[in-house]
Amino acid sequence: MFAVHGYPITTTAAGAALSTFIVETDEATWRAAGLDEFDVTVPPGPSDEKTRAYLEEVFAEQIEGRKLLVNNSRWGNFRTRRTARWATLDPRPVALLGDAAHTAHFSVGSGTKMAMEDAVALAQALTSHPGDLPAALTAYEAAARPSVDAVQGAARPSLSWWEHFGRYHDAFEPGSSPTTSCPAASPTPVSPAATPVSSPPPTARGWRATARSRSTPR
């Protein structure tokens, strides 16, 4: 089973609509489809073209025959990062912001927001404690950490759901819940996918569709 998180991001100067297209699957499906052959040790830049071709076919109905664009596109495991200390003075002053300090599963769409809020909190802390860097860094973490903890807590069920959705699909009766969800923010509804799955937790967002992998991997 493959699932896609898709949501519009921009319209090009030529008028073409572009969307983010993030695909999740479980390891067994990924290997069975032969998608584990891309050498992830090559430097950033090259995209996994075999995966692109495969997913264009799997999701042909949802993308209505259009092409998938790639940009350093590879498979990866999402890792939730929590950092014990966000700042240090020794051996030199360092403050961590954004993903360096914390991550939250992308289905809650908050990573960039958290990084920006860190930057605002750090700037405010430095301004409020002129000449007192230790106090500023302590104030920075105290101000920014609570909302990060809340987002990471809210992301946990979403992460768990997306890591096990194949199992839920097999457990639920077909038709017991919709396969695609399309919030008001999404201007482009997608066709219902062939196979219903259980609904993700409310923290997840964007439209989603699932499609079974091809029966004959290549």
Question: What is the pairing mode between strands 17-25 and 2-11?
Answer: antiparallel
Residue 5 contacts residue 20 (beta carbons within 8 Å): yes
Q: Which of 110, 152, 179, 180 forms a contact with ligand FAD (CB under 6 A)?
A: 110
C-alpha to C-alpha distance for 204 and 202, rounded to whole angstroms: 5
Phi-psi category of 197—alpha, beta or left, where left has phi over 0 and alpha has psi -120 to 50?
A: beta
Q: Using CB under 6 A, which of the segments 80-88, 106-114, 134-142, 165-173 binds ligand FAD?
A: 106-114
Note whether 113 binds ligand FAD by CB under 6 A.
Answer: yes
Note whether 99 binds ligand FAD by CB under 6 A.
Answer: yes
In this structure, what token pair is assigned to residue 29?
Answer: 């499906």
Please provide the DSSP assignment of 13-47 as one string.
TTS-EEEEEEEEE-HHHHHHTTGGGS-TTSPSS--
Note whether 163 binds ligand FAD by CB under 6 A.
Answer: no
Note whether 8 binds ligand FAD by CB under 6 A.
Answer: no
Q: How many other CB atoms sit within 10 Å of the CB of residue 22?
A: 15
Q: Which is nearer to ligand FAD, 98 or 178 (CB)?
A: 98
Q: Which is nearer to ligand FAD, 99 or 163 (CB)?
A: 99
Q: Using CB under 6 A, which of the segments 29-37, 97-105, 159-167, 185-193 binds ligand FAD?
A: 97-105
What does the buried/exposed string (b/e) look like for 118-136 if buried means 16 or more CB atoms within 10 Å of the residue's CB? beebbeebbeebeeeeeeb
Q: Which of 8, 22, 30, 147 forms a contact with ligand FAD (CB under 6 A)?
A: 22
Note whether 21 binds ligand FAD by CB under 6 A.
Answer: no
Number of residues interacting with ligand FAD: please give it, by CB under 6 A.
11
Q: Which of 88, 112, 176, 195 forms a contact with ligand FAD (CB under 6 A)?
A: 112
Residues at the contact surface with ligand FAD, assessed by CB under 6 A = 22, 98-100, 106, 109-113, 115
